[in-house]
Amino acid sequence: MEIIKNALGQSHHLIRSVVKPGDIVIDATAGNGHDTAFLAELVGSGGKVYAFDIQEQALQQTRERLAGLKLLDRVELIKDGHQNMDRYVAGKVKAVMFNLGYLPGGDHRIGTRGDTTVAAILKSMDLVEVNGIISIVVYYGGDSGFEEKDRVMDLIRKIDHRQFTVMKTEFVNQVNCPPIFVCIEKLY
Ligand SMILES: C[S@@+](CC[C@H](N)C(=O)[O-])C[C@H]1O[C@@H](n2cnc3c(N)ncnc32)[C@H](O)[C@@H]1O
């Protein structure tokens, strides 16, 4: 097993260190439900996960996965874009997870997009509590293209350093556009 984890592994490592039983969190891209299940375990039966996806196929996969793991009771599945998350989430959240790109096994043309992703990150920055984090795994190249990655990188460079710490982990010697991990922590 490698010591240096890939972007998704890095995001899980950090989320695990922050999210505790009873917390309220958001999975901004439910997809096949792996991250929703991960979050649902962490928050426990007293916590809550809001999970967004625009595709019914993704929400159905997530629903089935959660039901199989007996974790559905603490998850609200929402068929809407994450750019509208503020319409559903009341109060502050401990963490927001983004796993960008398209649904594995699904239609590669229905992926996350620069404009809606940027809008959702900005809303997450409002919703997240102090010392809460926003984790973003950015896929690019291939069917995902570069537009969304460029928009996200442009946004994070401009975030006010007095209110947020922003970290980017990039793998510099790999081939085929390895995903990038971005983490944003709210400081006050
Ligand atoms: C890479 S997948 C997520 C994988 C997922 N986290 C998992 O554990 O399986 C990205 C998902 O984002 C969804 N998506 C695309 N645009 C979206 C939007 N505006 N709001 C919410 N989800 C969106 C896609 O439908 C797709 O299922």
Which pLDDT band, with edges at 50, 70 and 90, does 64 fall under? very high
* Mean pLDDT within 66-79: 98
- Residue 90 clears pLDDT 90, i.e. is over it: no
3-state secondary structure of 5: coil
Q: Are strands 93-99 and 75-79 parallel, antiparallel or unpaired?
A: unpaired
Q: How far is the CA of 3 from the centre of ligand 1 (A)?
A: 28
The protein residue whose alpha carbon is closest to atom 12 in ligand 1 is 29
Q: How far is the CA of 100 from the centre of ligand 1 (A)?
A: 6
Contact 62, 36 (CB under 8 A): yes
The protein residue whose alpha carbon is closest to atom 23 in ligand 1 is 53
Q: How far is the CA of 105 from the centre of ligand 1 (A)?
A: 12
Which pLDDT band, with edges at 50, 70 and 90, does 169 fall under? very high
Contact 28, 52 (CB under 8 A): yes
Q: Which residues line ligand 1 (CB under 6 A)?
A: 29, 31-35, 52-55, 58, 81-83, 99, 101-103, 110-112, 116
- Residue 145 clears pLDDT 90, i.e. is over it: no
Q: What is the mean pLDDT of the chain?
A: 96
Contact 133, 63 (CB under 8 A): no
Which pLDDT band, with edges at 50, 70 and 90, does 2 fall under? confident
* Mean pLDDT within 160-178: 95
* Mean pLDDT within 11-22: 98
Mutational test site, ligand 1, from 27, 32, 41, 53, max ligand atoms within 8 Å of CB: 53
Determine the pLDDT at residue 173. Answer: 95
Q: How far is the CA of 109 from the centre of ligand 1 (A)?
A: 12
Q: Where are the domains of the chain?
A: 7-186
- Residue 1 clears pLDDT 80, i.e. is over it: no
Token duo for residue 104: 């594995």
Q: How far is the CA of 55 from the centre of ligand 1 (A)?
A: 8
Q: Mark residue 83 as left, alpha or beta (left: phi above 0; alpha: psi -120 to 50; beta: remaining).
A: alpha
Q: In Å, what is the CA distance from 135 to each residue of 39, 86, 109? A: 12, 18, 23
> For domain 7-186, which CATH number applies: 1.10.1740.110, 3.40.50.150, 3.40.449.10, 3.40.350.10?
3.40.50.150
pTM of this prediction? 0.97
Contact 149, 180 (CB under 8 A): yes
Q: How far is the CA of 162 from the centre of ligand 1 (A)?
A: 30
Q: Note the pLDDT tens digit of each residue in 111-139.
A: 999 999 999 999 999 999 999 999 999 99
In eight-state DSSP terms, residue 84 is G
φ, ψ dihedrals at 156, nearest 5°: -70, -25
Q: How far apart (Å, rounded) are the C-alpha atoms in residues 185 and 6?
A: 20
* Mean pLDDT within 57-80: 98
